[in-house]
Amino acid sequence: MRKAIRTILEFGIYIAIIAGIVWGVPNFLSWKLQTKYPIAAITSGSMWPVLQTGDLVLIQNVPKNELQIGDVVVWKNTNGFTIHRIVKLNELTLVTKGDANFSEDVPVSYDDVIGKNLMWGKKPVRLPYLGYISIWGAHIKQVYAEK
């Protein structure tokens, strides 16, 4: 009887730790990086080789006056989010371009900028392959939605 209770308790603690990590880590990152969207998965090769498909990147909030040309920023568009590098800063808008692209993106309002890629020295923080979890999840969701 004592052994059964101990097993149940250990299992419960294990589940609580997993739930704590799954719920706690995004919330902690959101608080620490001061943004609603602290994590993003790279879904295309438009920033190759700096950021590659399947990478998981961390996004931190950045005030408009701290944005600089060369920063890798995340901005909202009609299809989701875009993660590209700033090439021009205008009064009301900024212009970005993917490193691997030849053409610049359409100008974006500063209000649509979610934040910028968290940096480690001069390199962006990226977690290779972890972004595939989100990519596969979105793909499975789309497949079921179409059915």
Residue 108 CA to residue 94 CA, distance in Å, equals 5
Contact pick of 5, 22, 49, 123 for another protein (by CB under 8 A):
49
94 phi, psi to nearest 5 deg = -130, 155
- Provide the β-strand partners of residue 94: 89, 108
In the range 73-132, which residues lie near another protein by CB under 8 A?
Answer: 99-102
Nearer to another protein, 50 or 89 (CB): 50
Whether the bond between 107 and the residue before it is cis, its omega within 30 degrees of 0, is no
**CB 110, CB 64: distance < 8 Å:** yes
Tell me: does residue 44 bind another protein (CB under 8 A). Answer: no
By C-beta, is 2 or 123 nearer to another protein?
A: 123
Which of these segments, 27-35, 41-49, 114-122, 129-137, binds another protein (CB under 8 A)? 41-49
Binding site for another protein (CB under 8 A): 45, 47-50, 52-53, 99-102
